Copies of this chain bind each other. A is one copy, B any other.
Amino acid sequence: MSTVDERLDGVAFNTDGLVPAIVQQHDTRDVLMMAWMNREALRLTLTTGRAVYWSRSRGELWRKGDTSGHTQRVIGVRVDCDADTVLLEVDQVGAACHTGTRTCFDADGEYTDRDLNPVTGDA
């Protein structure tokens, strides 16, 4: 069994030292959000069982829920085939999105089947 440091060595952080983390609710399997992690954020996520991210706008670590109370308990963490993307399975308390919706994909940005069809669309 490898140490946390050995595991972190296997992750392909990008030139900014970050990996995208896809966050999925473990039971409903809703995709809740996407955020970024640096090595320290991933280490804290792996070792504390609470999801921690890197805020690119604020330039600091943020532990999900510290301000909002909407914590994420980490159930599983995987990396993808080329180790440059992380998938977190979590148990989300309340809203995952800062707008107050359960997921960050609940907004008006949803397209319908019809919109994908160039024949029935208006593009």
Binding site for B on A (CB under 8 A): 1, 3-5, 7, 10, 20, 22, 24, 29-31, 33-34, 45-49, 74-83, 85, 87, 97-99, 101, 104-105, 107, 109-113, 115-118, 121-123
The answer to whether B33 touches A121, judged by C-beta atoms less than 8 angstroms apart, is: no
* Top 7 A-B residue pairs of the complex, sorted by shortest distance between their CB atoms: A4-B123, A79-B109, A29-B29, A80-B104, A47-B118, A34-B85, A78-B105
The answer to whether A107 touches B122, judged by C-beta atoms less than 8 angstroms apart, is: no
Q: Residue of B at shortest CB range from A97?
A: B81
Please indicate the chain B residues that have their CB under 8 angstroms from the CB of A30 in the complex. Answer: 29
Q: Residue of B at shortest CB range from A110?
A: B78
Please indicate the chain B residues that have their CB under 8 angstroms from the CB of A74 in the complex. Answer: 116
Question: Which residue among A31, A77, A113 has the maximum number of chain B CB atoms within 10 Å of its CB?
Answer: A31
Q: A4-B123, A78-B105 are in contact. List 5 more A-B contacts (CB 8 A).
A: A4-B121, A34-B80, A34-B85, A48-B118, A78-B109
